[in-house]
Amino acid sequence: MTFVKSNSAAATKGSTLVLPSVSIGNVPQLAVDLLVNTLQATRIGIIDSPSTLPVSGPSGFDHLPGQRSVPVEVYQTADGQWTIVQQRSPPLPGRHRVFARELMDFIAQGDFAKVVLLTSSDAALRADALIQGPQIRSLTVNWQDDELASQLQALSLGPLDVAGETGTGPKEPLKQLHAAGAAKHLLRLCQATDIPVVALVALVNEGDNVPDAIGLANAANALLDIAPGAAQWRPPQSWQWLSGPVNPPGELY
């Protein structure tokens, strides 16, 4: 894995990293689309990894015309406060653990103030206790912060696994992640290296997942105040083809 900077002046140290996992419904990626396009974040580089499926396409964002889309892109807001990764292709089969280790290298090199992981999990496999109530849950790793726990509860972003509710107890929350891509591997590595991470987990079914993505973006905004106030999300132009293009862009051919 190599972080290839396109903006040498950009610095990640001290910023908050928002990282999606390619998971069921592509909900985290869609939520990141909303964040990047609404905040007008610019691309500061790419993560060149042999562990992801190669892909190339036209720009996915209105404010960045002419920029090619690649598997893993790194964006940053103008004030440098938020560093946001967009992943456009999944890890290759059998490479999820390797890719998670590569992301760990990126996190370690970036010296981020906070790491926030956005992921989704198969709602059909959620514990019975989670069928009712909020369908966006939280999962914290190495984060001993009572204030954060109180904030998550106040925002109805309760823990993914609650002792006595799911039967696995608070030490086994990762077992509640299903179809979550590399998220489980990444969180386990964070546990082993004492890197504090808070994950927001959307419990979803495959289908029209735009409402789920908006909900996840709202949850991230409520927790982090990325877009102050009630965010009016601006979907990128690429969303015109979420259900298949009526007139595919010429760049595809």
6, part of any domain = no
Angle of helix 96-110 versus helix 183-193 axis, rounded to 10: 50
177, part of any domain = yes
4, part of any domain = no
225, part of any domain = yes
Write down the pTM of the prediction.
0.90
Q: Please give the share of the chain, as a percent, with pLDDT higher than 90.
A: 64
94, part of any domain = yes
Domain carrying residue 224: 11-241
169, part of any domain = yes
112, part of any domain = yes
Residue 229's pLDDT is 64
- Number of compact structural domains in the chain: 1
Residue 54's pLDDT is 93
Say whether 35 sits in a helix, a strand or coil: helix
Structure confidence by residue, pLDDT tens digits, 121-137: 999 998 888 888 899 99
DSSP track, 201-217: EEEE-SS--HHHHHHHH
* CATH number of the structural domain spanning residue 155: 3.40.50.10900
Structure confidence by residue, pLDDT tens digits, 8-34: 778 899 999 999 999 999 999 999 999
The four Cα atoms 32, 38, 42, 45 give a dihedral, to 10 degrees, of 0
Closest CA to 136 of 196, 204, 197: 204
DSSP state of 59: -
**Residue 153: both structure tokens together:** 């509860």
